Chains A and B, each alone.
Chain A
Amino acid sequence: ILNVEQSPQSLHVQEGDSTNFTCSFPSSNFYALHWYRWETAKSPEALFVMTLNGDEKKKGRISATLNTKEGYSYLYIKGSQPEDSATYLCAFTVGNQFYFGTGTSLTVIP
């Protein structure tokens, strides 16, 4: 079993604040790194897939970076809105196996 760690476990931010959180994964045998957004009582929704060291992806106010050599990825949210409140999961893949972190739970306070 490969260990994928996410930090922090949870955070609360004010509407309009920017925030970021971290996903750490083993740097050997890297294939891809995924970010998912998971709202309560809904399906996890894929945000990004990144495969190359130095990759940066952006979707609206959300962006992600990848460092495969040191084994981490950052997810950034600019100008947080209440609708951004969700758990953000990362998953590291080796071959076709997904290894998930426990997620960062974000609450944006209006």
Chain B
Amino acid sequence: ETGVTQTPRHLVMGMTNKKSLKCEQHLGHNAMYWYKQSAKKPLELMFVYNFKEQTENNSVPSRFSPECPNSSHLFLHLHTLQPEDSALYLCASSQDLDSDTQYFGPGTRLTVL
């Protein structure tokens, strides 16, 4: 079983829908991350949580709302998205913020119609 799981793997939503992406890590890590990958662009960091507290928000629009109820779970709530938000959303975790390695989930492929 992979250490970081994400659901759903694929999501199609309209611009007026509300949906949530879920990430779970089974590695006992304290830090969790959301990344966005648009076509032909590098991974962009969106949010960082450390011990359930948000430590980084990289100027992400408010239509993306993260939630971290505990160190093992991370959600990304989506509301009134735009077609340009269509991308692959990856979750990652690390032992702590200064860790050498981040461990990634397989991502959620999001399409906004």
- The answer to the question of A13 belonging to the interface, with a C-beta cut-off of 8 Å to chain B, is no
A-facing mask of B31-60, CB < 8 A → 1, else 0? 000000000111101001000000000000
Known: A32-B100, A34-B101, A96-B97. A43 touches B106 (CB 8 A): yes
- B-side interface residues, number (CB < 8 Å): 19
Question: Is chain B's binding surface mostly helix, strand, loop or mixed?
Answer: loop
- The answer to the question of B103 belonging to the interface, with a C-beta cut-off of 8 Å to chain A, is yes
CB-contact partner of B106 in A41, A96, A98, under 8 A: A41
Contacts of B45 in A (CB 8 A): 97-98
B-facing mask of A42-54, CB < 8 A → 1, else 0? 1111100101000
Contacts of A100 in B (CB 8 A): 42-43
Q: Is the CB of B104 within 8 A of A49?
A: no
Interchain CA distance A36-B101 in the complex, whole Å: 10
Q: Is the CB of B98 within 8 A of A96?
A: yes
Q: Is the CB of B100 within 8 A of A43?
A: no
Q: Is the CB of A46 within 8 A of B103?
A: yes
Q: Is the CB of A46 within 8 A of B101?
A: yes
Interchain CA distance A61-B90 in the complex, whole Å: 28
- B residues 79-113 near A (Cβ < 8 Å) are 90, 97-98, 100-107
- The answer to the question of A4 belonging to the interface, with a C-beta cut-off of 8 Å to chain B, is yes
- A residues 85-110 near B (Cβ < 8 Å) are 89, 91, 96-103
Interchain CA distance A34-B104 in the complex, whole Å: 13
Contacts of B101 in A (CB 8 A): 34, 46, 49
Interchain CA distance A45-B107 in the complex, whole Å: 13
Instruction: Show 27 A/B contacts (Cβ-Cβ < 8 Å), sorted by A.
Output: A4-B42, A32-B100, A34-B100, A34-B101, A36-B104, A41-B106, A42-B106, A43-B2, A43-B4, A43-B103, A43-B104, A43-B105, A43-B106, A43-B107, A46-B102, A46-B103, A49-B101, A51-B100, A91-B43, A96-B48, A96-B98, A98-B102, A99-B42, A100-B42, A100-B43, A102-B40, A102-B41
Known: A43-B105, A45-B104, A96-B48; 6 extra A-B contacts, CB below 8 A, are A34-B100, A43-B104, A46-B103, A91-B43, A96-B98, A98-B102
